[in-house]
Structure 1
Amino acid sequence: MLRAAASAVAAGALVTGCDPHRDDDSGALRSGGPSPSGAGSSGAGHAPPARARTARPPVRVPGLPVQIAHGPRNGRAVALTFHGRGDPKLATALLGEAERAGARVTVLAVGDWLDEQPAMARRILDGGHELGNHTMHHRNICALPAAEAYAEITRCADRLRALTGTIGSWFRPSQTQRATDLVTGLARKAGYPHVLSYDVDSLDADDPGAPAVRRTVLDAAGPGSIVSLHLGHAGTVAALPPILDGLRRRGLRAVTTTELVT
């Protein structure tokens, strides 16, 4: 599977991640995609895929800030969170590696990716993982006017609802680690009590290679960490097994973000 994933990248399947210094709109559907009622469509002439099992809805966690960067430091769990975009073969390979190790992850999906790959919503949830909102087109949401930023949040929420029955578990802003007060307020208006940040950046979107991704994560991650990673990168797929093994050797386990903070 990893060999096939690497071949996909070599063939040009790689999709850029969430580095705020990179233009991440090149792969977006500039037309804005179909209406929410068509979010499950896989293209003209094809029946839409079956709806995924119902996604876990957002949960307000008493005592935690509106913007969450990490979980409890006195536990033995970490959350591996993936910005959801890219070649579905690479995404499927990564989910398979997590499942073989008994890990569960959180995927924050970009709405136009769900338009192109609606079956991925079911694949993520059927694997026991968690699914959330990473805006519709992965624009620099903190630089947008309020109406446009709100549309980025709600249009992705509509896709998630059409595919999974809920707006997803979490909202993570695009092209930034932390949301502004404006974006945080808009996310709450859209139905997300918390904004999901992170305290460990794997830097995998820059494709430094699997060993570098593994070192970056294991050097920084500890109890309660929320780690930012990306689908669509072969190096991340290759790095995941040694990351999970390294965490296990420290007595840490990878769980969904909701499991981490509740």
Structure 2
Amino acid sequence: MLRAAASAAAAGALVAGCDPHRDEDSGTVGREPSPSGAGQASPAPAHAARPPTRAPGLPVQIEHGPRGGHAVALTFHGRGDPKLATALLGEAERAGAKVTVLAVGDWLDEQPAMARRILDGGHELGNHTMHHRNICALPAAEAYAEISRCADRLRALTGSIGSWFRPSQTRRATDLVTGLARRAGYPHVLSYDVDSLDANDPGAPAVQRTVLESARPGSVVSLHLGHAGTVAALPPILDGLRRRGLRAVTTTELVT
């Protein structure tokens, strides 16, 4: 499946992730989602969708979890070719790892079955805005719409607005965006302390090296669906973490 996924990527199936310099290439910024996907119903997931996570004692904007444990959270900005996404989830599951996917709303409109696929794998699902715009540069009303409309998609597909909110095209949210996220129902904004830089497609060895050189107990690692190099890098990343006594868990498990 991995070779097939990589071939699809080589054929141009990749969709840009969170890199602000590449987001324009996705062709979805500022547009309404395709109506063809919006009306598709997704069956109720076998694993229940979690409500927004509350982590007492941690700041509103979370960059990492406790440093004294033996876990890290691999978090994926959710967008791109569903074949690559499915291949990546399969790699995680074969290694006994759980991940957190922050889904873009228009991707869920186009690929509603992915919400169930993520949850059925025992993974965690959250909100990464509706259209992946530069949310910190938007007026308040537009920024709130980006958060709340993705929350509506998640609720319709899973019964929950998702465990986490992560802002788009930025590592950290402004105070305004943090307040809007709380208004939409998210007690925390999920940032990260390790950037894999995989959205730039540096190749699997570079992604592996970047993650393993930077991750430590409690780290929240930023990665992306929709990139063949990330799929190829995941097994050696998980193996490298395991050799260091670390396991990949959902962000909720990491911080609660």
Normalised to the residue count of structure 2, the TM-score between the two structures is: 0.96
Q: Which amino acid aligns with 1:150?
A: Y
Contact 1:24/1:139, CA 8 A, preserved across alignment? no
Letter in 2 for 1:67: Q
CA RMSD of aligned residues (A): 1.5
Give the partner amino acid of 1:222.
R
CA apart distance, 1:182: 0.2
Amino acid at match of 2:13: A
Residue 95 of structure 2 contacts residue 238 of structure 2 at CA under 8 Å; is this kept in 1? yes
CA distance in 1, matches of 2:24, 2:66: 32
Where do 1:58-73 residues align within 5 Å? 58-73=52-67
Amino acid at match of 1:131: L
Separation of aligned partners in 1, 2:24 and 2:99: 23
Task: Quote the Cα distance in structure 1 between the aligned partners of 2:253 and 2:179.
Answer: 24
Cα deviations by residue, 1:164-210 (Å, 9 ceiling, x for unpaired)? 00100000000000000000000000000000000000000000000
* Distance (whole Å) between structure 2 residues aligned to residue 220 and residue 65 of structure 1: 22
Quote the residue 1:118 is aligned against. 112
Q: How many residues are aligned here?
A: 255
Measured in 1, the distance between the counterparts of 2:190 and 2:229 equals 24
CA distance in 1, matches of 2:31, 2:206: 37
Cα 1:30–1:143 shift into 2, 3 Å: closer
Contact 2:76-2:101 within 8 A present in 1 as well:
yes
Contact 1:78 1:223 in 2 (8 A): yes
Local SS of the residue matching 1:162: helix
CA distance in 1, matches of 2:37, 2:43: 12
Deviation at 1:29?
6.8
Unaligned runs of 5+ residues in structure 2 are: none
Distance 1:254 1:24 in 2: 32
Structure 1 residue 28 displacement after superposition: 1.5
Mapping for residues 90-129 of structure 1, pairs under 5 Å: 90-129=84-123
Matches within 5 A, 1:51-90: 51-52=44-45, 53-90=47-84
* Aligned residue number for residue 150 of structure 2: 156
Q: Distance in 2 between matches of 1:201 and 1:24?
A: 21
Cα deviation, residue 27, structure 1: 3.1
User: After the TM superposition, which residues 19-30 of structure 1 pair with which residues of structure 2 at under 5 Å, given as runs?
Assistant: 19-24=19-24, 26-28=26-28, 30=30
Deviations 1:95-154 (A, max 9, x none): 000000000000000000000000000000000000000000000000000000000000
Deviation at 1:39, TM superposition (A): 6.9
- Measure the CA separation in 1 of the matches of 2:44 and 2:224: 24
Normalising to structure 1: TM-score of the pair? 0.94
Q: Does 1:209 align with 2:203?
A: yes
- Counterparts of 2:215 and 2:20, CA distance in 1: 22
1:66–1:194: 8 Å Cα contact kept in structure 2?
yes
Return the offset for 1:22.
Answer: 2.9
Alpha-carbon distance change, 225 to 69 in structure 1, aligned in 2, over 3 angstroms: same
